Chain A
Amino acid sequence: MDLRFTDEERAFREEVRTWIDENLPAETRERMASGRTPTKAMQVDWQKRLYAKGWAVPHWPVEWGGQPWTAIKRFILSEEIQSTPAPSPLGFNANMLGPVLIAFGTDEQKKHFLPKIANLDLWFCQGFSEPGAGSDLASLKCAAKKDGDHYIVNGQKTWTTLAQHADWIFLLVRTDTGAAKQQEGISFLLADMTTPGITVRPIITIDGAHEVNEVFFDDVKVPVANLVGTENRGWDCAKFLLSNERTGQARVGASKERIRRLKLIARETPGGARPVMEDPRFRSRLTDVEVQLKALEMTTLRVLADENRALSQRKPNPASSVLKIRGTELQQAISELYVMAAGPYGLAAPDDPEASLRNEPAVAADWQTLAQATYFNWRKQSIYGGSTEIQKNIMAKAFLGL
Chain B
Amino acid sequence: MDFDLSEDQRLLQDSLGKLLKDKYGFEQRKAYLKSETGWSREVWAAFAELGLLGMPFAEDDGGLGYGPVETMIVAEQMGRALTLEPFISTVVLGGGFLRHGATAEQRGALVPEIAAGNLLLAFAHTEPQSRFDLHDVATSARKDGAGWIIEGRKGVVVHGDTADQLVVTARVSGARRDAEGVEVFLVPANATGVARRGFRTSDGQRAADITFDNVKVGPDAQLKGGLALVGRVVDETIAALSAEAVGCMEAAKDLTVDYLKTRKQFGRAIGSFQSLQHRAAEMMVCLEQARSMAMLAAMMAGERDAAERLRNMRAVKIEIGRNARFVGQQTVQMHGGIAMTMEYAGGHYLKRLTVIENMFGDMDHHLAALSEEGGVFVAA
Contacts and interface: CB of A to CB of B under 8 A. Distances in A.
B5 interface: yes
B277 interface: yes
Interface stretch (B139-147, B188-196, B282-290): B282-290
A399 B284 contact: yes
Interface in B273-304: 274, 276-278, 280-282, 284-285, 288-293, 295-296, 298-299
Contacts of A292: 289, 319, 322
Contacts of B19: none
A400 B289 contact: no
Interface string A288-318: 1011111110110110111000000000001
A181 interface: no
B281 to A, nearest CB: 4
Contact of A1 (B3, B291, B322): B3
Please classify how large the interface on chain A is, using the bins under 10, 10 to 19, 20 to 34, 35 or more. 35 or more
Interface in B351-380: 367-368, 370-372, 375-377, 379
Given A263-B375, A280-B368, A305-B3, A318 B288 contact: yes
A221 interface: no
A325 B285 contact: yes
B257 interface: yes
B288 A1 contact: no
A295 B292 contact: yes
A85 to B, nearest CB: 15
A292 B379 CA distance: 18
A244 interface: no
A280 B373 CA distance: 12
A402 B271 contact: yes
B277 A294 contact: no
A299 B288 contact: yes
B318 interface: yes
B377 A318 contact: no
Contact of A393 (B257, B271, B277, B377): B277
20 contacts: A1-B3, A1-B298, A3-B1, A3-B295, A263-B375, A286-B371, A286-B375, A287-B370, A291-B367, A295-B289, A295-B315, A305-B1, A305-B3, A319-B291, A321-B284, A322-B288, A393-B274, A393-B278, A395-B285, A402-B271
Interface residues of B, number: 46
Contacts of A305: 1-4
Contacts of B93: none
Given A1-B4, A292-B319, A318 B284 contact: yes
Nearest to B287: A318
Contact of A402 (B6, B272, B298): B272
A259 to B, nearest CB: 6
A3 B371 contact: no
A34 interface: no
Nearest to B368: A284
A242 to B, nearest CB: 17
Interface in A1-55: 1-6, 9
A366 B281 CA distance: 39
Contacts of A301: 1, 3
Contacts of A210: none
Contact of B285 (A5, A293, A322): A322
A287 B285 contact: no
B69 A402 contact: no
B3 A321 contact: no
A291 B284 contact: no
B255 to A, nearest CB: 12
A401 interface: yes
Contacts of B298: 1
Contact of B293 (A2, A298, A391, A401): A298
B370 A291 contact: yes
A286 B315 CA distance: 12
A400 B257 contact: yes
B282 to A, nearest CB: 7
A397 to B, nearest CB: 8
B278 to A, nearest CB: 4
B327 interface: no
Contacts of A391: 281
Contacts of B2: 1-3, 305
Nearest to B369: A287
A302 B377 contact: no
A401 B257 contact: yes
Given A259-B377, A286-B371, A286-B375, A294 B315 contact: yes
A260 B285 contact: no
Among A287, A306, A401, the most chain B Cβ lie within 10 Å of the Cβ of A287
A280 B370 CA distance: 11
Among A3, A72, A318, A399, the most chain B Cβ lie within 10 Å of the Cβ of A3
Contacts of A287: 367, 370-371, 375-376
B261 A294 contact: no
A293 B319 CA distance: 10
B266 to A, nearest CB: 16
A396 interface: yes
Given A280-B371, A392-B277, A393-B277, 20 more contacts: A4-B1, A5-B1, A260-B379, A287-B367, A287-B371, A288-B318, A291-B367, A294-B377, A295-B293, A295-B319, A299-B292, A302-B3, A305-B1, A322-B285, A389-B278, A393-B278, A400-B280, A400-B281, A402-B272, A402-B277
A302 B292 contact: yes
Interface string B39-75: 0000000000000000000000000000001000000
A283 interface: yes
Interface string B305-334: 000000010010011001000000000000
A395 B370 contact: no
A250 to B, nearest CB: 12
A396 B281 CA distance: 6
B12 to A, nearest CB: 13
Interface in A261-291: 263, 280, 283-284, 286-288, 290-291
B260 interface: yes
Contacts of A286: 371, 375
Contacts of B280: 396, 400, 402
A326 interface: yes
B285 A326 contact: yes
B292 A298 contact: yes
A383 to B, nearest CB: 16
A263 to B, nearest CB: 7
A304 B271 contact: no
A203 to B, nearest CB: 29
A319 B9 CA distance: 22
Contacts of A389: 278
Contacts of A5: 1
A326 B289 contact: yes
A256 interface: yes
B299 A3 contact: yes
Contacts of A2: 1-2
